[in-house]
Structure 1
Amino acid sequence: MALNLNLPFGLHIDIASMMLQYRKIRFNAGKRIKVYEMLESLTSQGNSINDALALVYEITSEDGKKPNKLLAYITKDWYDQIRGTVPLSDAVAEWVPARERMAISASGKTGNIAAALRDVIFIMKGEQDIKSAIKGALKEPAMYLVMSFALYYVFATDVIPQFKTILPEDKWGGLPYVALWLSEHLAQTFIPAVFIMIFIIIAIIFSIPRWTGRIRVTFDNIPPWSVYRILIGGSFLLTYSSLKRSGVSDNNILTLLTKGASPWLMERIMATRHILALGNKNLGDALYESGLEFPSKDTTIVLRAYARNPSTFDEKLEIVGREWLKDGVQKTQNTISTLGVIIQLFFYGVIAFFGAVLSLLELQLMTQN
Structure 2
Amino acid sequence: MTLNIVYTSSARSRPGVTANLTEWLDVHMSFRWRTRAQLYRMISVRMRQNASVDRILRMYSRQQKRRRRSSVPRLLDSVLRRMTEQGLPFAEALRPYIPDDEYMMILSGERAGDIGSAMDLVCDIKTRTGRIMRAARSAAFQPLMYIVVLFIYLYAMAKMVIPSLLHGVPGQHAASTSQDVLVFAANLATGANAFIILGSLIATVVAVWLSLPRLTGPLRVVLERMPPWSIYRNIQGYIWISSFIALVRAGMTDTDALAHQMQGASPWLAERLGAILARLGPRGMSLPEAMEDSGLAFPSPEVIDDIEASWGGKGAYGRLLESSKMWADEIELSTLAQAAAIKSFATTLMMLLAGALIVASNNIGSNMGGGQPM
Instruction: Output one character per residue of 1:86-105: Cα deviation in whole Å (capped at 9) or x when no partner.
Output: 45454334322333234334
1:69 CA displacement: 2.3
Aligned partner letter, 1:355: I
Say whether the 8 Å CA contact 1:60–1:71 is kept in structure 2.
Answer: yes
Aligned to 1:157: 159
**1:96 — aligned with what?**
98
Which digits, 9 at most, give the CA deviation of each residue in 1:177-219, with x for residues without a partner? 2321333451222233333333333333333222222222233
The residue identity in structure 1 corresponding to 2:325 is: R
Sequence identity, in percent? 21
Tell me the equivalent position of 1:337: 340
Structure 1 contact 103–235 (Cα < 8 Å) conserved? no
CA shift for structure 1 position 44: 4.4
1:36 touches 1:117 (CA, 8 Å); kept in 2?
A: yes
Q: How far apart, CA to CA, are the structure 2 residues paired with 1:63 and 1:184? A: 55
Q: Does 1:320 align with 2:334?
A: no
Q: Give the structure 1 partner of residue 83 of structure 2.
A: 82
Asked if 1:130 corresponds to 2:135, the answer is: no
> For residues 67 and 165 of structure 2, what CA distance do their matches in structure 1 show?
68
Q: More displaced, 54-63 or 273-282? A: 54-63
Q: Tell me which amino acid in the other structure corresponds to 2:258.
A: L
SS at the partner of 2:214? coil
The code of the aligned residue for 1:114 comes to G
Structure 1 residue 296: Cα displacement:
0.5
Runs of 5+ unmatched residues, structure 1: 1-12
Look up the equivalent residue of 2:56 and give its one-letter code.
Answer: L
Deviation sequence 1:97-133 (CA, Å, 0-9, x none): 3332343343465454333322221111112222343
The answer to whether the Cα contact below 8 Å between 1:238 and 1:322 also exists between their aligned partners in 2 is no
Q: Residue 102 of structure 1 contacts residue 235 of structure 1 at CA under 8 Å; is this kept in 2? A: no
**Number of the residue aligned with 1:9:** none
> How many angstroms does 1:301 deviate by?
1.8
Q: SS in structure 2 opposite 1:293?
A: coil
Structure-2-length-normalised TM-score: 0.81
Number of the residue aligned with 2:303: 299
Choose which of 243, 247, 257 in structure 2 pairs with 1:239.
243
In the TM superposition, what is the alpha-carbon distance from 1:293 to its structure 2 partner?
A: 1.1
Alignment of 1:234-273 (within 5 A): 234-273=238-277
Q: Distance in 2 between matches of 1:15 and 1:298?
A: 42
In structure 2, the gaps of 5 or more residues are 1-16
Number of the residue aligned with 2:6: none
Question: How far apart are 1:341 and its partner, in Å?
Answer: 0.8
Whole-Å separation in 2 of the counterparts to 1:345 and 1:65: 52
Look up the SS of the partner of 1:61 in the other structure: helix
Q: Does the 8 Å CA contact 2:42/2:56 hold for their aligned counterparts? A: no
Asked if structure 2 preserves the Cα contact closer than 8 Å seen for 1:275 and 1:286, the reply is: yes
Contact 2:139–2:339 under 8 Å retained in 1: yes
Counterpart amino acid of residue 30 in structure 1 = R
What is residue 8 of structure 1 aligned with on the other side?
Answer: none
Deviates more, 1:146-155 or 1:356-365: 356-365
1:56 to 2:57 alignment: yes
Identify the match of residue 113 of structure 1 among 97, 112, 115.
115
Q: CA, structure 1 residues 111+330, in 2 after alignment: closer, same or farther (shift >3 Å)?
A: same
Q: Quote the Cα distance in structure 1 between the aligned partners of 2:116 and 2:137.
A: 31
Q: Which moved more, 1:102-111 or 1:309-318?
A: 102-111
CA RMSD of aligned residues (A): 3.3
8 Å Cα contact 2:213-2:266 kept in structure 1: yes
- Give the superposition deviation at 1:285: 0.7
Whichever residue aligns with residue 120 of structure 1, its letter is V
Query: Is the Cα–Cα contact under 8 Å of residues 102 and 257 in structure 1 kept in the other structure?
Result: no
Q: Distance in 2 between matches of 1:103 and 1:302?
A: 22
Distance 2:214 2:54 in 1: 34
1:4: which partner in 2?
A: none
Q: State the Cα deviation string for residues 150-175 of structure 1 (Å, max 9, x = none).
A: 32223222222112223599622545
Q: Aligned AA for 1:163? A: L
| Structure 1 letter corresponding to 2:118 | A
